[in-house]
Copies of this chain bind each other. A is one copy, B any other.
Amino acid sequence: MAETLFRRLTIIGLGLIGSSIARAAQARGGIAAEIVASDRSQAVLDRVVALGIADRVELDPARAVQGADLVILCAPVGAFASLAEAIAPHLAPGAILSDVGSTKQSVLRDVGPLVPDGVHFVPAHPLAGTEFSGPDAGFATLFEGRWALITPPPGTDSAAVETVAELWRRLGSMVSIMEPAHHDRVLAIVSHLPHLLAFTICGTADDLADETRQQVLQFAASGFRDFTRIAASDPEMWRDVFLNNREALLEMLARFTEDAQAMARAVRWGDAGYIEDKIERGRKIRKSLIEIRQA
């Protein structure tokens, strides 16, 4: 087994992302000789056993991390502080502790101080997902061609950072190293705010009078369908993302609200030029996205 990157990989939280890491590690090889799965839910662990995507399951995270040379936290970020507290005394010397959380400053804040000396803390965030959740939603190719962002705190061992980068490359991703605060601002606009808007518009529609709501569902045009697809994502995960990227998210929402109000004013006063200009900018961004092959 000398050729695998890790002897024992422990995944804590077997939802969409965690179970996809397990599947990809199994499917691709060269990643881990043994995969240990831990989840707060016995029902999830039962599914993991039934799906055969781990070598061993453990309800107790402290037992799960023993002897692991890589531990990845894949629970909602709001659970990280208590998880870190539970596992910290049991992490093996020289092990790497990583995660897949969507907010990185909060992870540094919540987990960083609890990491024992001799354990390398290398936070990461794969930009991959679907609107489905749970261990049955994962699949081995989820990370292929997607970015994995690594946000090591200052002074992190560079060999450990390179090992986590190599993990993500072997899972099929492109890797970029990023400063945590910058990560949180970029994700606020490309992911967190769009989700907040999508959740909100579904609520707005749901509040409409009964007759209109029925027709909203019946005649949902493509615009609204795309919003509801986004809005179908995991509630607990997104609650934690919003609460743990509060500052950047509120700033982006404030900017967006100003811009939406300016658009409302243009609609009210019939400012056709302003409206056209805003629409053209949307097209320009879309064109740039296609050009860099992200679309």
Contact = CB atoms under 8 A, between A and B. Distances in A.
Interface of A: 127, 129-131, 147, 149, 176, 182, 185-187, 189-208, 211-212, 215-233, 235-236, 238-239, 242-243, 246, 249-250, 252-257, 259-261, 263-264, 267-268, 270, 272, 275-276, 278-289, 292, 294-295
A294 B221 CA distance: 9
Nearest to A295: B225
Contacts of A260: 196-197, 200, 253, 257
Given A229-B286, A231-B283, A201 B194 contact: yes
A284 B220 contact: no
Tally of this chain's copies: 2
A250 B294 CA distance: 33
B238 A202 contact: no
A260 to B, nearest CB: 5
Given A185-B212, A219-B147, A228-B295, A267 B282 contact: no
Contacts of A279: 199, 231, 233, 235, 238-239
Contacts of A149: 219
Contacts of A249: 267
Given A242-B267, A267-B242, A282 B202 contact: yes
B217 A285 contact: yes
B236 A276 contact: yes
A238 to B, nearest CB: 6
A294 B218 contact: yes
Nearest to A189: B205
A159 to B, nearest CB: 25
Contacts of A224: 189-191, 194
A231 B288 CA distance: 13
A196 B286 CA distance: 15
A268 B285 CA distance: 30
A250 B267 contact: yes
A128 to B, nearest CB: 8
Given A203-B259, A228-B282, A263-B196, A182 B212 contact: yes
A222 B187 CA distance: 11
Contacts of A264: 250, 253-254
Contact of A232 (B130, B212, B286): B286
Contact of A223 (B190, B259, B287): B190
A205 B272 contact: no
B286 A204 contact: no
Contacts of A286: 131, 202, 228-229, 231-232
